[in-house]
Amino acid sequence: MNGDAGSGDQELLAEQIDYYRAVADEYLDGQLDEPGGDELVAAIEEFAPAGDVLELACGPGTWTPRLLRHADTVTAVDASPEMQALAAQRVAADLERVRFVLADLFTWRPDRRYDGVFMGFWISHVPWNRFADFWDRVDHALRPGGRVLFVDDAYRTEEELIEGQASTTIQRRLRDGTPHRAVKVPHTAEGLERELSVLGWNIRVHPTSGPFYWGTGGRSSD
Ligand SMILES: C[S@@+](CC[C@H](N)C(=O)[O-])C[C@H]1O[C@@H](n2cnc3c(N)ncnc32)[C@H](O)[C@@H]1O
């Protein structure tokens, strides 16, 4: 495990939320059009999350409608009301099956357990020093035998790497040029699988033909 987001990362994490709040309207234009995206869709279809599903960092509802094809209900958590407003529009026809929770995932405690937990492009935004605590929260959210699926990427541009390759802090700019720092951990499939197994998870992480990866599994003890 490496990276450098130290214990004084509150400001950085607040800036990360500010970035996503500000970028919400531009977000869908900036999505990565790289090989492997269709493999993520296939992974979700295979996962076919049934029952009550928790979606962490739902954003503008990129994946929420697809989850609703399989799930009875989706609880969609995000810290950005702007993102959640966009997500609500995308699931307008199924709103009675979606509960939106506006919360910071580094402090939020789930009030119930779920059959499945899904995370789209979120794991890479969790700094290493919060990684174990975050997965403890996932543990508390999952019923015994419940399953997890995440999809993500390790894509960072040269321009974003304001502190160099070794740092997990990057800088992104809004269309108008306003800079915001964020966390982007460039996980490898093997490295992530290993770290999760240390924490008691049995999750297989699969690279794709592009910069994306996806992981699925559950607790080692289940
Ligand atoms: C890369 S986007 C992913 C959105 C969506 N899941 C997708 O795949 O397109 C990351 C999301 O995390 C949310 N986020 C950032 N920091 C957060 C935090 N501390 N707690 C909850 N959500 C947060 C942002 O508002 C944003 O919607």
pLDDT value at residue 114: 98
**Could you tell me if residue 70 is inside a domain?**
yes
Share of the chain above pLDDT 70, in %: 95
Q: Average pLDDT in the 41-68 region?
A: 97
CA–centroid distance, residue 94 to ligand 1 (Å) = 21
Q: Average pLDDT in the 179-206 region?
A: 98
**Could you tell me if residue 57 is inside a domain?**
yes
Binding site membership of 74 for ligand 1 (Cβ less than 6 Å): no
> How many domains, the chain?
1
Domain coverage including residue 192: 10-214
**Could you tell me if residue 3 is inside a domain?**
no
**Could you tell me if residue 33 is inside a domain?**
yes
**Is a pLDDT exceeding 90 seen at residue 164?**
yes
User: Best mutation site among 122, 130, 152, 185 for ligand 1, i.e. most ligand atoms within 8 A of its Cβ?
Assistant: 122
> Which range has the worst mean pLDDT, 3-7, 92-96, 111-115, 177-181?
3-7
**Is a pLDDT exceeding 50 seen at residue 101?**
yes
Ligand 1 atom with minimal separation from the 55 CA:
6
Nearest-CA residue for atom 19 of ligand 1:
104
**Could you tell me if residue 129 is inside a domain?**
yes
Binding site membership of 104 for ligand 1 (Cβ less than 6 Å): yes
Q: Give tens-digit pLDDT for 115-159.
A: 999 999 999 999 999 999 999 999 999 999 999 999 999 999 999
What is the value of pTM for the model shown? 0.95
**Could you tell me if residue 84 is inside a domain?**
yes
**Is a pLDDT exceeding 90 seen at residue 7?**
no
Q: What is the DSSP string of the chain?
A: ------S--HHHHHHHHHHHHHHHHHHGGG----TTHHHHHHHHHHH---SEEEEES-TTTSSHHHHHTT-SEEEEEES-HHHHHHHHHHTGGGGGGEEEEE--TTT---SS-EEEEEEES-GGGS-HHHHHHHHHHHHHHEEEEEEEEEEEE----GGG-TT-TT-SEEEEE-TT--EEEEE-----HHHHHHHHHHTTEEEEEEE-SSSEEEEEEEETT-
CATH label of the domain that carries residue 114: 3.40.50.150
**Is a pLDDT exceeding 50 seen at residue 6?**
no
Q: Average pLDDT of the chain?
A: 94
Share of the chain above pLDDT 90, in %: 90
pLDDT value at residue 14: 97
CA–centroid distance, residue 56 to ligand 1 (Å) = 8
CA–centroid distance, residue 38 to ligand 1 (Å) = 21
pLDDT value at residue 28: 77
pLDDT value at residue 2: 43
Binding site membership of 182 for ligand 1 (Cβ less than 6 Å): no
**Could you tell me if residue 5 is inside a domain?**
no
**Could you tell me if residue 79 is inside a domain?**
yes
